[in-house]
Amino acid sequence: MTVKKQEICNIIETLPDELSSKVIDYIEYLKFTSITNQAPEEVIVKDEEDLRRKLEKGIEESENGNVSSVEEVFSKIEKILVS
């Protein structure tokens, strides 16, 4: 364990138990933002308009036969999460 991680553990040990769920939530948030910061632009939804554009593009691509299997999609997602 690195010195910083040990420091984090020591600080967490001193917190009241009622703050534990907030600490866990924040750690999960940090992990999520780390992953999304590395994700390709096309999988990040910025706002409602961005979602609408991406859905319309996806519908158009599927109508043109440009589709991927579920296995291919999960493989791509796994590569994003592992890198």
Domain range for residue 5? 1-38
Q: Do 60 and 34 share a structural domain?
A: no
Q: Do 83 and 45 share a structural domain?
A: yes
pLDDT tens, position by position, 3-50: 999 999 999 999 999 999 999 999 999 998 887 777 778 778 889 999
Q: Do 29 and 46 share a structural domain?
A: no
- The burial class, CB within 10 Å (0-12 / 13-18 / 19+), for 10 is exposed
Q: Do 79 and 62 share a structural domain?
A: yes
Determine contact, residues 80/42, Cβ cutoff 8 Å: no
Kindly report the pTM of this predicted structure. 0.51
| For range 48-65, the mean pLDDT | 95
Q: Do 26 and 61 share a structural domain?
A: no
* Of residues 74 and 82, more confidently modeled: 74
The pLDDT value given to residue 83: 66
